[in-house]
Structure 1
Amino acid sequence: MGWPYEIFALDDAQKHARRQSLDRHAAYAQLSALIPIGLALLYRLGVLMFRRVSPYQPVAYSAVPSSPGLKHERQSAAGSWTIRARRFAWWLGDDVVVLGFNLGQRDQIIFGSLWSIWLVFLCFIGTGNDYLHLTKRFGIVAISQLPLQYLLILKNINPIAFAFASSHEQLNRWHRVLGGIIYCLLLVHAGLYLNFYIHEGILSERIVRPIPALGLGSIIGMSLLCATAIKLIRTYSYRVFFITHLIVALLLPPAIFFHSHHGGRQYVIEPLVFFFIDLIKRKIDTITVPSTLELIPDTNLIKIVASLPSSKLDRFRKYAGMHVYLTIPFSSRRSSHLLFEFAFNPFTIASVDEKSGELTLVARRQRGPMTKALAQFAEDDLASTKVPLCIEGPYGCATWFPNLAGPEFDRVLLVAGGVGSTFILPIFSILLAARFLNHTQHLRYIINENPAARVQMVWAVRGAADASWPLDDGEDSLDDNIQLFLTQSVPRDPTLHEAVELDSNSYPNPRQIHKRPDLRQIVDDFFRQGVEERVAVLVCGPEEMARELRSYVGVWVKKGRNVWWHNEGFAW
């Protein structure tokens, strides 16, 4: 069977019909994504409005974990299907690793493949045997996805994050999937056009003209972006990836706008509008605050205490586990290095003091320019001097968390690795206080049972000093309910990278264990405490730790346990 597509000339009427077909199928490609998102957004808005105007607020029923009712529910037909659904959802969230290379989570691969098939179908359907129609179709279907691609990366105003109760960090993984699909479609578009130029013998003539040159430049820019996104390069220098990503993201829409002179320009105007609206809102929300910095003794940690204006305090203390983006304003820089214009580093909010209005961050010194500059401020012993720093946020998916202290969960397991404790510890503190309150006010727990036993925190750090910085004056130990594992004496790879410059959080603990945590044993012991109990597991730490912990928790999910899982990370 031969190649069915041919190159032939069309009259004006045929060209107009082809143009209409191109526009129609590009609209199909865009609307097939935006309509479901719009419906989800309307549903979310409807639920929110109903909750605000309705005088009735439903209260979840808190069944005793060992009650016959829960056992009967689990063994019923509906319960059996619920367990299967939970297993399937967990299976979708697992990483797919081939030859040691992480291809992403299973849902990314499955839904990404299905979306690719749909878009490729739209590229072929109705093109007949017109080679140039097929060539142009690949290009316009690809750029029809650009508005969605840019929506997925918005930080401040993100309707998709609101519609699906998510955050821009969680949506970023779909941004990567869609970016790969768009890149492949545009590669085919460029390849087919280059083949056409070669076939007609006009390659050298056309390639220097503005329109083809802009298209080729766009492909080169996207190829460079994809190359710097490779984990090896991204880990070695996240700044190279970030700067390349930002420059290409800003230059690509104008280049495609002038390249696609016959149609589809609305698809590159829309993303720029979204991008700049979000950027303006972020700039408005960014505050410059006086801050003090100090080095934590015997560690490579830097403590940052920023004085917040009273008008901004509420939004930073509302939820635990949120993060901010920190930048160094021009007036505070020791040098005019252009890298600081691209330095927007995420740091988890370790604590917010409502009385003093101070926000605390803790950074681990890495190889990047941001933490090097912060360390320089701290080394200069500026304890009595306030350094102006810019803070943007807060961000994070904690706003959409279920009520971990409510009746939906019987036990909560919190696991932190190193600086990941800044996310875990505030949640632990609030959880512990809330569960003691439940115990006192509602008698939710069995008489004489310690409610803290239902909240377990495991924290692995290199040395005791890494867990010392949050101690208030007069304190000399962590909460007794925290298991602290000291791993400094255990051989490890001390690789540092600037991909993520997060923060740290905690206190030394009498329950110190000088070894790496046995996550399998910890998980098994935790789940064996109640067969019917509903469990929440939250982890923030190295990627390998989170993957290992998930594999052990997955064993219990397969056994039918009801588990809510969250892995907090800034891998991208």
Structure 2
Amino acid sequence: MLWPLLYRDLNESQKELRQKSLDFIGYAVLFSQLTALVYVYVYVNFLRRGVFRRLEWRLKYRILGGKTPIRGKVQSVDAAVMYWAWMGLMVWLCVKDVEHDYLHLTKAFGMTAAASLPLNILLGMKYNPLKLVFPNFSYEGPVNVVHQWLGYQVYLLMVVHVCLYLKFFWDTSRMKTRFLEIDVLCGVCAFGIMTFLITSAHPLVRKSFYSVFYNLHIVLSALLLPLLYFHVSHSRPYIIPTVGMLIVDRVLRAMFTMSTTATISLDPRSSIMDISVSFPHKPPPPAGSHILLNVPSLSLWTKNPFTVVESRNGHVRMVARVQGNFTKKLSGATKVPVNIESGYGGHGVNKELVGGVDRVLLIAGGIGGTFILPWARFLEANGVDTRFLWAVPKVGDLQWAGDGVALAEVYITGGHENGEDRNGGEEGMELLDASNSQDVLCVPPASFNSGRPDIRKAIREIIGRDGRVLVMVCGPDLMAEDVKNAVRTHTLAGRDVKLHLEVFGH
């Protein structure tokens, strides 16, 4: 039983029994995590079809219910169910054997948080052993989201742990004694560091001050674990493996980081920056994959993600829009020494993703064409029935694509890449006269249009025939949500549609 909670004085035998109960909580957390990983493997490889796939899509409604489309950052029902079900399991493990013991409950929340750390760090590793089991495993996308979710849950468990202990110290007049002892101070400092980590990981901070977020994440994570190690000895079986994983990840990243020179060119008409990098000592990463680029002259630690547009003859080419502090500084150079980590992203261009597919619909928004264009070239070269829609704010944003534009049905929106006007609405965008703009391009596109593509119509047309269809999209959040909503409708109707959303750097 849980209530009422009492400050109980236990003898040594009772304390030993309480510690065994707390140790069991840690083992139960690890077993639950292992069970969840096994379930994901079985579901993705054997069950994600037919009625289970339709059920998955049926749960992709927004939390407030109804048939309102999933838009923007609104949490869908399936994600919310998974998040709070896991949180409920962690809370149940904390309270199930309390037996009115206040300190048992207090310590249980701390043990649950500590036991959750190894999986959180494992999911955040760039060189991840889970790739041996999940071939298409990628740190980006859903895995990164789960990493963030688990981080928030660990922090919430820590908040309860700290608040309960503060109440205990206050009620027992120990704020000036026990509170100042080294083990408690280590816990307080660790909690403060975790608070900074969670705050810096908020999307508003992360996107606006990416270098601050990145550097804080590295430095504070290195400080957090030693503090937790000295905070309490019973959590060390979880802290030591976590430290080991961080060290292995950093060593591997250092070993596989390559130093070379990047050649930079900027198109002033479109603010599109072209980056060419040579790979003299190892095979370059495939087109459609991602790399992390560090420029020591700009920052010793910060690494920014870029998508490989072309990969041939020991060189890779990347393209980016000049919009943040990093790209603005980088665009002012012509040649600069760089450090590169390559091979990120679940799918470089390969036949595995399109195996068994009869038709493919490619949808790109703005600079999202850097991922979609390599696929368009690959599918066209292999004779796959493909349709490619590409929406950009202005025609100059297509210059970098060269003859690849000929594969696309181009839509000039005349607005912003995120598909919204400056007032935050979605209508009333200034549309350009596409017919007068296409002469800017060296190679004409398959078709040239003003306004936005009708995504629902395009998906309906390509799904209208029998066979298996793959829809790939890389673009702004609202575009991705529109695609998900449209695919969802056809999946629930029993059509065989596979959706791939490419995201990088949540």
Per the alignment, do residues 221 and 327 of structure 1 end up closer, same or farther by CA in structure 2, a change over 3 Å counting?
same
- 8 Å contact kept, 2:22–2:107: yes
- 8 Å contact kept, 2:136–2:347: no
Alignment correspondent of 1:367: 324
Secondary structure class of the residue paired with 1:292:
strand
Distance in 2 separating the partners of 1:199 and 1:168: 45
Question: How far 1:467 sits from its partner (Å)?
Answer: 0.7
Deviation string 1:216-242 (CA, Å, 9 cap, x unpaired) is: 222222222222333333333233333
- 2:303 is matched with which residue: 315, 323, 344? 344
Question: How far 1:152 sits from its partner (Å)?
Answer: 0.5
What amino acid sits opposite 2:52 in the alignment?
A
Question: How far 1:293 sits from its partner (Å)?
Answer: 0.9
Distance in 2 separating the partners of 1:97 and 1:256: 39
What amino acid sits opposite 1:267 in the alignment?
Y
Distance in 1 separating the partners of 2:364 and 2:349: 20
Alignment correspondent of 1:210: 182
Distance in 2 separating the partners of 1:342 and 1:92: 40
Deviation string 1:518-547 (CA, Å, 9 cap, x unpaired) is: 22222223323x0x2211001001111111
Alignment correspondent of 1:447: none
Secondary structure class of the residue paired with 1:163:
coil
Per the alignment, do residues 291 and 401 of structure 1 end up closer, same or farther by CA in structure 2, a change over 3 Å counting?
closer
2:199 matched to 1:227? yes
Per the alignment, do residues 400 and 128 of structure 1 end up closer, same or farther by CA in structure 2, a change over 3 Å counting?
farther
Deviation string 1:291-317 (CA, Å, 9 cap, x unpaired) is: 2111124111110111111x422x513
Of the structure 1 ranges 197-206 and 534-543, higher mean CA displacement relative to structure 2 is found in 197-206
- 8 Å contact kept, 1:464–1:508: no
2:489 matched to 1:555? yes
Deviation string 1:480-510 (CA, Å, 9 cap, x unpaired) is: x410111226895469xxxxxxxxxx96525
Secondary structure class of the residue paired with 2:364:
strand
- 1:538 is matched with which residue: 472, 477, 482? 472
- 8 Å contact kept, 1:96–1:102: no
Question: How far 1:556 sits from its partner (Å)?
Answer: 1.4
Question: How far 1:138 sits from its partner (Å)?
Answer: 1.1
Alignment correspondent of 2:230: 258
Distance in 2 separating the partners of 1:322 and 1:494: 32
- 8 Å contact kept, 2:295–2:336: no
Of the structure 1 ranges 344-353 and 225-234, higher mean CA displacement relative to structure 2 is found in 225-234
2:82 matched to 1:108? no
Secondary structure class of the residue paired with 2:180:
coil
Alignment correspondent of 2:53: 86
Question: How far 1:564 sits from its partner (Å)?
Answer: 0.7
- 8 Å contact kept, 1:304–1:362: yes
Structure-to-structure mapping, 1:355-434, within 5 angstroms: 357-368=314-325, 370-377=326-333, 382=334, 386-398=335-347, 403-406=352-355, 408-434=356-382
Per the alignment, do residues 182 and 536 of structure 1 end up closer, same or farther by CA in structure 2, a change over 3 Å counting?
same
- 2:312 is matched with which residue: 342, 353, 376? 353
Query: Which structure: larger Rg?
Result: 1
Structure-to-structure mapping, 1:312-323, within 5 angstroms: 312-313=282-283, 316-317=285-286, 320-323=287-290
2:79 matched to 1:120? no
What amino acid sits opposite 2:380 in the alignment?
L
Deviation string 1:27-62 (CA, Å, 9 cap, x unpaired) is: 221132135547988999xx9xxxxxxxxxxxxxxx
Question: How far 1:141 sits from its partner (Å)?
Answer: 1.5
RMSD: 3.0
- 1:465 is matched with which residue: 396, 402, 414? 396
Per the alignment, do residues 101 and 291 of structure 1 end up closer, same or farther by CA in structure 2, a change over 3 Å counting?
closer
Alignment correspondent of 1:58: none
What amino acid sits opposite 1:232 in the alignment?
L
- 8 Å contact kept, 2:72–2:478: no
Deviation string 1:142-195 (CA, Å, 9 cap, x unpaired) is: 101100110000111332674374211131111112112211111111111111
- 8 Å contact kept, 2:83–2:149: yes
Per the alignment, do residues 133 and 164 of structure 1 end up closer, same or farther by CA in structure 2, a change over 3 Å counting?
farther
Distance in 2 separating the partners of 1:322 and 1:508: 27
What amino acid sits opposite 2:8 in the alignment?
F
Alignment correspondent of 2:26: 26
- 8 Å contact kept, 1:289–1:388: yes
Deviation string 1:66-91 (CA, Å, 9 cap, x unpaired) is: xxxxxxxxxxxxx9x95432211223
Distance in 2 separating the partners of 1:117 and 1:430: 46
Q: How many residue pairs are counted as aligned between the two chains?
A: 480
Percent identity between the two aligned chains? 31
- 8 Å contact kept, 2:305–2:505: no
Alignment correspondent of 2:137: 166
Question: How far 1:566 sits from its partner (Å)?
Answer: 1.0
Distance in 2 separating the partners of 1:486 and 1:372: 25
Distance in 1 separating the partners of 2:349 and 2:12: 54
What amino acid sits opposite 2:344 in the alignment?
Y
Per the alignment, do residues 464 and 373 of structure 1 end up closer, same or farther by CA in structure 2, a change over 3 Å counting?
same
Of the structure 1 ranges 87-96 and 151-160, higher mean CA displacement relative to structure 2 is found in 87-96
Question: How far 1:132 sits from its partner (Å)?
Answer: 0.9
Q: Give ranges in structure 1 of 5+ residues lacking alignment.
A: 48-78, 436-450, 496-505
What amino acid sits opposite 1:342 in the alignment?
W
Alignment correspondent of 1:137: 108
Per the alignment, do residues 138 and 161 of structure 1 end up closer, same or farther by CA in structure 2, a change over 3 Å counting?
farther
Per the alignment, do residues 411 and 206 of structure 1 end up closer, same or farther by CA in structure 2, a change over 3 Å counting?
same
- 8 Å contact kept, 1:285–1:392: yes
Secondary structure class of the residue paired with 1:312:
coil
Secondary structure class of the residue paired with 1:144:
helix
- 8 Å contact kept, 2:58–2:492: no
2:252 matched to 1:281? yes
Distance in 2 separating the partners of 1:164 and 1:36: 18
* TM-score w.r.t. length of structure 2: 0.87
Distance in 2 separating the partners of 1:489 and 1:371: 21
- 8 Å contact kept, 2:120–2:151: yes
- 8 Å contact kept, 1:414–1:537: yes
Distance in 2 separating the partners of 1:286 and 1:404: 27
- 8 Å contact kept, 1:124–1:134: yes
Question: How far 1:350 sits from its partner (Å)?
Answer: 0.4
Structure-to-structure mapping, 1:408-557, within 5 angstroms: 408-435=356-383, 454-471=385-402, 478-479=405-406, 481-488=407-414, 492-493=420-421, 509=445, 511-528=447-464, 530=465, 532-557=466-491
Per the alignment, do residues 167 and 94 of structure 1 end up closer, same or farther by CA in structure 2, a change over 3 Å counting?
farther
Distance in 1 separating the partners of 2:135 and 2:285: 23
Distance in 2 separating the partners of 1:510 and 1:489: 22
Alignment correspondent of 1:443: none
Of the structure 1 ranges 4-13 and 94-103, higher mean CA displacement relative to structure 2 is found in 94-103
- 8 Å contact kept, 1:34–1:148: no
Q: Give ranges in structure 2 of 5+ residues lacking alignment.
A: 424-441
* TM-score w.r.t. length of structure 1: 0.77
Per the alignment, do residues 459 and 510 of structure 1 end up closer, same or farther by CA in structure 2, a change over 3 Å counting?
same
Per the alignment, do residues 305 and 526 of structure 1 end up closer, same or farther by CA in structure 2, a change over 3 Å counting?
same
Question: How far 1:364 sits from its partner (Å)?
Answer: 1.1
